Structure 1
């Protein structure tokens, strides 16, 4: 700065004014130099770095570029220039040094934050990230870094040792725990969720308390985001997955089979013994022919062995239309190409009720896709409902207004 001051003095300007003008000139020069250096760094150096990164065979460095790690790192250049010229401002050197230090701390925090986010992005490219996400841990480290950075900045500003501030934090621990309550709960919950492999990104979970029914799209320190099937997004606190119950459908997805559990209600007035004519008819059904022949021999042998008078239907054993129908549905499901062969297949009667006799079909499709599952289930029950009258059975249905009108019309005719 003395050179600039001497130049102004040679021009005939007084020492006081020359000193003032020299200071202003140096500030302008430093400002222009910083702007030029920053421009040169971003427009030239960063372009070269970007071009090199995009042409390498590695993918991890692209994430550093996307998170703008190098762009934020370039802000250190003006600070270096300011530090170099600060020796020319003897009266303000201490203040300038503090400002530069605080500026460097902020830049370092921004760079580390971007770098940690890039690390998380790189980690998510691996399959293990679905079962062991680290986003929560990254956020904890970021919080820790920002706390340390804030302490260093304040200690620099007030000119005290960071140790003094850190020791003072101990007295404020209760307040800090209150402020960071959600973060602490989220951290503990994140560790438990990860350690016990309770949820992963992509899992279908159901949590009625929070209105969540869909796929997990993000797991962070504080929240778990679920995209519901209606495309809305529900945000659930991480610790709620530990304290409350929820359903995770991952087991179904991993097993490769989706359960069908639905009943057909049979009108009990249509249930009865099979007539000889009906039995002969049933023998012509491909999936039932062997069953009818075997059952017929078994019943005939039992009745002869116990000297049963078969002229009365209630004596001994006899086939019923509901029993034959149940056997038919069992064999139909067994041969269905869309039903999982290695999982449980049951056709059972439940307790009769006011809506008739429930015949429950319990099986698993071999495709877990929702649309395919619904199509298979619909096709299955379309067939069961349509074939029931062939066995002399009627599916129960509460009478409608049309039924009452038909009955009234019939009574008027008679």
Structure 2
């Protein structure tokens, strides 16, 4: 038995003396490790799907491709070392740095994939602020990328203290040269944190000719789609100096109408006002808890104007117009039920009796 083990040891030692045999052995080993990883992953995936906790699925999905890459690339660096050592007869110290670099890249890759998966998962749920979720995800990705870059530079022998000092001076220079870019960036940050609007909101500015639906809030610009389907690209810094109205967040929509009745119907106004007010209070689409006014409002040149002031429960633009139409038609029916009518624009010419007699005398 001892002789068999000694012969096997001698054979393996002889086999590994050649770099191509070493590379072949490492490649075959990597393949078997990769198969084991896939079997383990498939088993873990089945177990994760049976749980109600979704974060394990997101973590597994983030690990799959980076770990597979690590299984092939890490032995690849070892094989490269054997190849260069046999060919050039020289040990390359930077291969150790390459391995460290590989581990850093794999770690950053996993974290970014995890952040992306979490972002997609949260955005699938309803009642989530899309702009806030995207902002947090962008900040998280930027944070891990910066940490990865600093770690890589340290692995290559750069001094972080000197780098940060240089970064402070360089940041000042860049800030002065790109102040507009930075103002847009911080403007975008204020939009994310103050949240005056979000993606999907209808906004407009009385200070500028800006009105439409918010399509995207970026780090530099916000894209707004106007109602005639034209895109407007607004720098984020603009929103720090203009007034922005957000009709999407209104609680009610207002009906504000002036309806003119004939002067001949002045005795019927009290009854018409009472019935219109009762109709509005009992209407299913009118919010009776808000201000509701039906009163004689003005003496116009050819009509007695009634003020109709109420708020609908719906804020949907199309539904609002349907409710408003129904209200106006019912008001017309109430007016006609009292034998009254809407006033037309008219002029009354009054002739004085003396003036008429004088004219008649002159003609005779």
Offset from partner CA, 1:333-388 (integer Å, 9 cap, x none): 23333221111112356667789766442101233344432221111112334554
* Counterpart for residue 374 of structure 1: 321
Provide the C-alpha distance between the structure 1 equivalents of 2:73 and 2:47, rounded to a whole number of angstroms: 26
The CA RMSD measured in Å over matched residues stands at 4.4
Provide the C-alpha distance between the structure 2 equivalents of 1:184 and 1:79, rounded to a whole number of angstroms: 42
Deviation at 1:130, TM superposition (A): 3.2
Alignment of 1:78-227 (within 5 A): 78-82=72-76, 88=82, 90=85, 91-121=90-120, 129-130=128-129, 133-157=132-156, 159-177=157-175, 182=181, 185-187=184-186, 189-191=188-190, 193-194=192-193, 196=194, 198-200=196-198, 203-207=201-205, 209=208, 211-214=210-213, 221-222=219-220
The verdict on how the C-alpha distance between 1:115 and 1:187 changes in structure 2, with shifts beyond 3 A counting, is farther
Provide the C-alpha distance between the structure 2 equivalents of 1:388 and 1:382, rounded to a whole number of angstroms: 10
- Please say if residues 136 and 219 of structure 1, whose CA atoms lie closer than 8 Å, have aligned partners that are also in contact: no
Gaps of 5+ in 1: 9-18, 275-318, 398-414
Offset from partner CA, 1:96-152 (integer Å, 9 cap, x none): 223333333222222111222344456557888539924323312322332332343
The verdict on how the C-alpha distance between 1:371 and 1:128 changes in structure 2, with shifts beyond 3 A counting, is closer
Provide the C-alpha distance between the structure 2 equivalents of 1:145 and 1:131, rounded to a whole number of angstroms: 21
Q: 2:263 pairs with 269, 272, 286, which one?
A: 272
- Please say if residues 271 and 320 of structure 1, whose CA atoms lie closer than 8 Å, have aligned partners that are also in contact: no
Q: 2:48 pairs with 53, 56, 70, which one?
A: 53
The verdict on how the C-alpha distance between 1:100 and 1:168 changes in structure 2, with shifts beyond 3 A counting, is same
Say yes or no: does 1:76 pair with 2:70.
Answer: yes
Offset from partner CA, 1:245-265 (integer Å, 9 cap, x none): 222235523xxx33222344x
Q: TM-score, normalised by structure 1?
A: 0.61
- Please say if residues 50 and 65 of structure 1, whose CA atoms lie closer than 8 Å, have aligned partners that are also in contact: yes
Offset from partner CA, 1:16-35 (integer Å, 9 cap, x none): xxx9xx44554455455546
Say yes or no: does 1:332 pair with 2:326.
Answer: no
* Counterpart for residue 353 of structure 2: none
- Please say if residues 30 and 75 of structure 2, whose CA atoms lie closer than 8 Å, have aligned partners that are also in contact: yes
* Counterpart for residue 393 of structure 1: 342
Provide the C-alpha distance between the structure 1 equivalents of 2:223 and 2:42, rounded to a whole number of angstroms: 37
The verdict on how the C-alpha distance between 1:40 and 1:240 changes in structure 2, with shifts beyond 3 A counting, is farther
Q: TM-score, normalised by structure 2?
A: 0.68
The verdict on how the C-alpha distance between 1:129 and 1:355 changes in structure 2, with shifts beyond 3 A counting, is farther
Provide the C-alpha distance between the structure 1 equivalents of 2:209 and 2:23, rounded to a whole number of angstroms: 58
The verdict on how the C-alpha distance between 1:347 and 1:87 changes in structure 2, with shifts beyond 3 A counting, is same
Q: 2:245 pairs with 226, 244, 247, which one?
A: 247
- Please say if residues 130 and 200 of structure 1, whose CA atoms lie closer than 8 Å, have aligned partners that are also in contact: yes
- Please say if residues 189 and 242 of structure 1, whose CA atoms lie closer than 8 Å, have aligned partners that are also in contact: no
- Please say if residues 74 and 102 of structure 2, whose CA atoms lie closer than 8 Å, have aligned partners that are also in contact: no
Offset from partner CA, 1:180-201 (integer Å, 9 cap, x none): 964674456435653x453356
- Please say if residues 184 and 221 of structure 2, whose CA atoms lie closer than 8 Å, have aligned partners that are also in contact: no
Alignment of 1:223-238 (within 5 A): 237-238=235-236
Provide the C-alpha distance between the structure 1 equivalents of 2:241 and 2:171, rounded to a whole number of angstroms: 25
Deviation at 1:81, TM superposition (A): 2.6
- Please say if residues 263 and 359 of structure 1, whose CA atoms lie closer than 8 Å, have aligned partners that are also in contact: yes
Residue aligned with 1:75, SS: helix
